[in-house]
Amino acid sequence: MSTPIVEIRHLKQHAGETVTLRGWVRNVRTSKMRFIELRDGSGFVQCVVSANDAEPESYELAGRLTQEAAITATGIVQTHPKTGAPELLVKSLTLVGESVDYPITPKEHGTAFLMENRHLWLRSKRQWAILRIRHTLVKAIRDFFDEDGFTLLDSPILTPSACEGTSTLFGTPYFDEGMAFLSQSGQLYQEPGLAAFGKTYCFGPTFRAEKSKTRRHLTEFWMVEPEMAFAHLEDVMVLGERLTKFMVQRVLEGRQEELKILERDLAPLEQALNVTFARMTYTDAVEKLKELGSDINWGEDFGNDDETILMNAMDRPLWVHRFPKAFKAFYMEPDPIDPKLALGADLLAPEGYGEVIGGGERASSLQYLLDQIEHEQLDRKDYEWYLDVRKYGSVPHAGFGLGLERAVAWICKLPHVRETAPYPRMLGTLKP
RNA sequence: UCCGGAGUAGCUCAGUGGUAGAGCAAUCGGCUGUUAACCGAUUGGUCGGGGGUUCAAGUCCCUCCUCCGGAGCCA
């Protein structure tokens, strides 16, 4: 006689029925009664093995199960007499794969050890919750742009030169063409797509060979980069805010169990959903920072502390816009009212998470771009294809980049982005 | 790259010059529903590597390596 195989997430629908579960042993507590905490990737459930209800050899097996052994368990779905949660009253157990001396024990571990065992750490409850939320955010991002009429236009990962010229790039030999570089942004490749598709986005890994050693940096991270034709700075802030709210909403709706595992305070997320994001010009932000005790001067980029100081005084996400042109990328459109300023906007997440979105309006004048390329001492030859966007039907256009890992870190309220990626790549971390 | 901190049992840590310790894990035994279960016992160490001081070094000095936190740079 065979019983239906059921995923733990569907257990509730099978109350009173005999079913088979397949999964891994998270923990075992043995007394006369034996309790197996089982996980199957879809959820967690307690299996109860008693001498009365289980076959003798299964009862015996339950007594010698080890952490992370793979098993199947067949029994009746009942409710926990104390908590009311579904549990399985076991009739029979089979051992599918044994597990000897699993390194990650129920007690605490250091970060270095956990990172070395990242491939196993993925099985831990917190990591499971975080990566499920990451999954939901990726899906939300795709759904948002697809439903909004954007066309996915994949930017290449192997590129011939720097896009922004500032950051360090990872290089790799590319046949007879010399060095190729891993892309640090797909944006420049989106712009030519506008005249073909109107609104486009790319979403994939990007790479920065910066020797940054902070809680906000990975050398490999995912970024979604929408770009819109006939669009201005205002459109960036409107779109970015809608996207952020959509992402937060999807997680609040669909990942309640995971948020609970993470003990995430939901109030700041609900707040972000229900209010209009704050806006402040760079110039006002500098004034505000000075009031709050920062030693920043106009013309300097925000330091890590500055973002923290600014956001501690804020109860919602904040757009900072119109930065000094000097420290922004060469392709930014200058502010027609004050040409010292660039029409850029960054979205700072609350709770100390800092920049999640960076974007703005792109320069649409060929002559202006040529002047900028000369001024920045870039090689015009590298950008001819990019300049063609301005030669053949140039229009105002704008877009932004949203860093997935930073969004996950904020929404899960994590102390470090390294937990937001399945296999994070950082300064000094290439394994596993 | 700079500043600070740390490397001792499989893991998390205590041990400030005189015989190397605890909790967890593992192993064995006990316990009528447990939930980081609990109780008892056992096993487990080139004290990060190299050099030095000393009768004696986990402990003091030099040096290298690795990791953690922060800065700069950025999403």
Mapped onto helix, strand or coil, the DSSP state of residue A77 is: strand
Identity of residue A146: D
Residue A75 lies in a domain: yes
Q: Give the distance, in angstroms, between residue A252 CA and nucleotide B75 C1'.
A: 23
H or E segment and range at residue A276: none
Q: Is the dihedral of CA A293, A296, A297, A302 positive or negative?
A: negative
Q: Give the distance, in angstroms, between residue A428 CA and nucleotide B47 C1'.
A: 26
Are A70 and A140 part of one and the same domain? Answer: no
Residue in the block written with tokens 């201005």: A232
Q: Give the distance, in angstroms, between residue A116 CA and nucleotide B74 C1'.
A: 26
Four-CA torsion A252, A257, A263, A265, nearest 10 degrees: 20
Tokens of A233: 């700075």
Are A217 and A335 part of one and the same domain? Answer: yes
**Nearest nucleic acid nucleotide to A222, CA to C1' distance:** B75
When divided into structural domains, chain A yields a total of: 2
**Nearest nucleic acid nucleotide to A329, CA to C1' distance:** B74
Are A314 and A362 part of one and the same domain? Answer: yes
- CA distances to A287, A324, A345, A354, A397 from A281, in Å: 10, 10, 9, 16, 20
Residue A378 lies in a domain: yes
A291, HSE (Cβ side, Cα atoms, 13 Å): 8
What is the ipTM metric for this complex?
0.86
Are A308 and A348 part of one and the same domain? Answer: yes
Q: Give the distance, in angstroms, between residue A112 CA and nucleotide B62 C1'.
A: 28
Residue A41 lies in a domain: yes
Are A141 and A90 part of one and the same domain? Answer: no
pLDDT in tens, A22-39: 999 999 998 889 999 999
Residue A432 lies in a domain: no
- Which amino acid residue lies closest to nucleotide B32, measuring CA to C1'? A32
Q: How far apart are CA A303 and CA A416, in angstroms?
A: 18
Secondary structure of A355-421 in the HEC alphabet?
EEEEEEEECCCHHHHHHHHHHCCCCHHHHHHHHHHHHCCCCCEEEEEEEHHHHHHHHHCCCCHHHCC
Are A351 and A381 part of one and the same domain? Answer: yes
Binned at pLDDT 50, 70 and 90, residue A107 comes out as confident
Name the least confident of A251-255, A390-394, A416-420, A425-429: A425-429
Which residues does residue A172 pair with via DSSP β-bridges, in sequence order? A180
Query: How much is the CA Rg of chain A, to the nearest whole Å?
Result: 26
For the entire predicted model, the pTM comes to: 0.93
> What CATH code is carried by the domain that includes residue A92?
2.40.50.140
Domain span at A28: 8-97
Q: What is the mean pLDDT of chain A?
A: 91
H or E segment and range at residue A130: helix A125-147
Query: Could you tell me what percent of chain A has a pLDDT over 70?
Result: 98
Q: How many residues does chain A have?
A: 432
Are A160 and A87 part of one and the same domain? Answer: no
pLDDT in tens, A238-262: 999 999 999 999 999 999 999 999 9
Are A183 and A270 part of one and the same domain? Answer: yes
> What CATH code is carried by the domain that includes residue A155?
3.30.930.10
Are A85 and A168 part of one and the same domain? Answer: no
Q: Which nucleotides of B are covered by protein (CB under 7 A)?
A: 1-2, 10-13, 23-28, 30-38, 66-75
pLDDT in tens, A163-191: 545 457 888 888 988 888 899 899 999 99
Q: How far apart are CA A233 and CA A265, in angstroms?
A: 32
Decide: A372 and A329 in contact? Cβ < 8 Å.
Answer: no
Residue in the block written with tokens 């190729």: A180
Are A177 and A308 part of one and the same domain? Answer: yes
Q: How far apart are CA A131 and CA A405, in angstroms?
A: 10
Q: How far apart are CA A64 and CA A49, in angstroms?
A: 12
Burial of A353 (0-12, 13-18, 19+ CB in 10 A): buried
Binned at pLDDT 50, 70 and 90, residue A1 comes out as low
Q: What is the mean pLDDT of residues A190-202?
A: 97
